[in-house]
């Protein structure tokens, strides 16, 4: 997994909520982690993460 070297402060509450909602979902997290190194097709992601 990659580490964030420099952050960016998010001021807008609705944006914060949207981001937190995405990263709190286990399937979204698995997809993000699986595609951090390179782009992948939906079929590749599904096969590697066991998400139908």
Instruction: Give me the pLDDT at residue 25, please.
Output: 87
5-51 pLDDT, tens digit per residue, is: 667 788 889 988 988 888 888 998 899 899 999 999 999 999 999 99
Range of the domain at 45: 13-49
8 lies in some domain: no
Report d(CA 21, CA 8) in Å as an integer. Answer: 18
27 lies in some domain: yes
Instruction: Give me the pLDDT at residue 5, please.
Output: 61
2 lies in some domain: no
41 lies in some domain: yes
5 lies in some domain: no
User: How many domains does one find in the chain?
Assistant: 1
- Residue 34 CB contacts under 8 Å (≥ 6 apart), including other chains: 40, 45, 48, 49
Instruction: Give me the pLDDT at residue 42, please.
Output: 96
4 lies in some domain: no
Report d(CA 43, CA 12) in Å as an integer. Answer: 34
Instruction: Give me the pLDDT at residue 45, please.
Output: 97
């Amino acid at each position: 997994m990659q580490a964030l070297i420099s952050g960016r402060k998010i001021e807008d509450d609705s944006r914060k909520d949207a981001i937190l909602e995405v990263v709190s979902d286990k399937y979204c997290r698995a997809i993000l982690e699986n595609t951090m190194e390179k782009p992948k097709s939906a079929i590749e992601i599904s096969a590697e993460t066991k998400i139908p």
